[in-house]
């Protein structure tokens, strides 16, 4: 379900997969498995949505994302993530509600906005395992055609996942206990992407941006609730 929803929303499965997986596995194991899971799903998206990748966005958002995912991944071994996850949730809720209410507003699409959007997305991906929704907010300003949006986001995410996988392996987040899940998750990644593409093809372009913002709002709420539940447990 996380892969299907992530494909329809255009920002990847980790935004739903990470909060759910955290209920069953320790945080660092979730980071390692998520990175490998994402590699499969992003390759699947690039293959299935190969109609076009926006090279300008790929460079201007992708490069800072890759740089900052390494920084976030290295810090993940030294910092607790609960507060940062809640702050990210508040940020996503505020932005998604703002754009849902003001659906005709236009934000700047300059290089500085692309850089900061990519940097925050990459840093969050490395530190807490998910940052695709931040990238989704950034890319929504460009009003891209559905297949271009998904393919470009997946191409950026592929670079992020390759980079953070190396860092996570170095940090020891992947071991014999959790590596057994990987083959099944690779299969799920492809199947989920395929089913998500089928749904996305039936979704009108004018409804695509709104559905993405609603999903990002839900992600923000989950990001706040999960650390609170852990605190009470």
pLDDT tens profile 66-87: 999 999 888 887 766 677 678 7
**Residue 11, CB half-sphere, CA atoms under 13 Å: how many?**
31
Averaged pLDDT, 11-40? 79
Distance CA 145, CA 195 (A): 19
Beta strands in the chain (DSSP E): none
pLDDT of residue 204: 77
Averaged pLDDT, 29-47? 82
Distance CA 171, CA 60 (A): 28
For the cut 90, the answer to whether the pLDDT of residue 64 exceeds it is yes
> How high does pLDDT run on average in the chain?
80
pLDDT of residue 71: 93
Averaged pLDDT, 37-47? 81
pLDDT of residue 105: 57
Distance CA 130, CA 46 (A): 19
Highest mean pLDDT among 36-50, 112-126, 133-147: 112-126
pLDDT of residue 65: 92
- SS3 annotation, 41-86: HHHHHHHHCCCCCCHHHHHHHHHHHHHHHHHHHHHCCCCCCHHHHH
Say if CB 156 and CB 62 are below 8 A apart: yes
pLDDT of residue 81: 63
Tokens of 24: 């069953």
pLDDT, one tens digit per residue, over 133-153 is: 778 777 877 777 877 888 888
For the cut 70, the answer to whether the pLDDT of residue 51 exceeds it is no
Domain that holds residue 32: 2-232
pLDDT of residue 103: 65
- How far from each other are the two terminal CA atoms of the chain, in whole angstroms? 26
pLDDT, one tens digit per residue, over 152-176 is: 888 888 888 888 888 888 888 887 7
Compute how many other C-beta atoms are within 10 angstroms of the C-beta atom of residue 166: 13
How many domains is the chain built from? 1
Give SS3 for 80: coil
Does residue 207 or residue 105 have the better pLDDT? 207
Model confidence, pTM? 0.74
Say if CB 9 and CB 155 are below 8 A apart: no
pLDDT of residue 66: 92
Say if CB 231 and CB 82 are below 8 A apart: yes
CA distances, 219 to each of 14, 67, 137, 201 (Å): 10, 24, 12, 23
């Amino acid at each position: 379900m996380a892969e299907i929803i992530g494909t329809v929303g255009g920002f990847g499965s980790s935004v739903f997969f990470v909060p759910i997986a955290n209920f069953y596995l320790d945080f660092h194991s979730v980071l390692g498995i998520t990175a490998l899971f994402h590699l499969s799903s992003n390759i699947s998206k690039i293959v299935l949505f190969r109609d076009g990748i926006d090279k300008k966005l790929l460079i201007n958002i992708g490069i800072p994302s890759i740089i900052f995912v390494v920084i976030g991944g290295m810090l993940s071994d030294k910092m607790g993530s609960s507060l940062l996850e809640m702050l990210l949730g508040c940020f996503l809720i505020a932005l998604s509600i703002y754009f849902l209410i003001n659906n005709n507003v236009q934000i700047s699409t300059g290089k500085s906005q692309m850089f900061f959007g990519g940097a925050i997305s990459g840093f969050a991906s490395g530190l807490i395992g998910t940052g695709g929704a931040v990238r989704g907010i950034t890319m929504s300003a460009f009003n891209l055609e559905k297949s271009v949006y998904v393919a470009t986001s997946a191409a950026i995410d592929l670079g992020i996942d390759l980079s953070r996988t190396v860092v996570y392996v170095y940090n020891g987040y992947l071991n014999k206990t959790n590596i057994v899940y990987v083959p099944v998750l690779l299969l799920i990644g492809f199947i989920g992407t395929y089913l998500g593409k089928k749904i996305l093809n039936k979704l009108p372009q004018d409804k695509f941006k709104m559905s993405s913002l609603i999903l990002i709002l839900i992600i923000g709420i989950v990001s706040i609730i999960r650390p609170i539940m852990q605190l009470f447990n």
